[in-house]
Structures are given as structure tokens and as C-alpha cells.
Structure 1
Amino acid sequence: MNTGEKIDYMIQCLKVAKEEYEYETERYKHECSEDYDWLNKHHITNKALIRENLRNVARMGFQVANEVK
């Protein structure tokens, strides 16, 4: 993978983490509404997915930082 591809990979990981986080905040905002039941049945926030994507960005970031001259 070249540096550009690594940066694109980090961007995609950040997008996944952000979307999952935004889903979580939206889910708890509507906790008392009718939509909560539908959201709860169809998607469960995956906090491990958020953590792992952020860790991947950190690992790849260190590699890219060392490659840049």
C-alpha cells in the first residue's frame, strides 16, 4: 500500500467510527420515543467497532508519519 492508499484507509476507518458514534447518540436521544423500539430491534451500537477503527487509524498514522520524509 502506498502512502495515499494508507491515508484513504484511515479516512474510511474514521468515517465508520463517526457514523457508529452518531448512530449511538441519535439512538439515546430518542430513547423515550416510539422510534426507540424500532432502532433497538434493528441495530445495536457496536462500541468495539468504534474502538478498533480508531486503533487502526492510530497504527496506520504512525506508519505513515514514519514514511513521510
Structure 2
Amino acid sequence: MRTELVIDALTMAVAARGGHVDGVIFQWLTYYNARQHHSSLGYLSPTEFAQQHQRERKLTLAA
């Protein structure tokens, strides 16, 4: 069901942009990576998870 909703939303967005798929996909990926929280990442966005990992890595290297 979720996949169908995403496909429908992307189809409408592409139609609204005159058929330019690349811009729609870029916008969706930006949202997905920067804002969408994921349970598998401790309810952080991929961007937040990466930032946390980098901070932890720096602390480990500094120790």
C-alpha cells in the first residue's frame, strides 16, 4: 500500500512539473534523506544518523 501511495504521489508530481522526472526524484530523495525518520536508524533521519556516527567516530579516534 505504501509503495502505491509513493508511486501515485510521484506520478502526480511529475505531471505537475511537465514530465520532468529528475527534479521530482531529487526532491523526494532530499526529503527522504534529510527529514524522514527511520525506525531502523533509531528514529533518526539518514542525515542525522550519519552526523551522529561521524561525531562518535571522532570521539573514538580522539581517545
TM range (shorter): 0.3 to 0.5
TM-score relative to the length of structure 1: 0.32
| Higher relative contact order, structure no. (Cα contacts within 8 Å, ≥ 6 residues apart) | 1
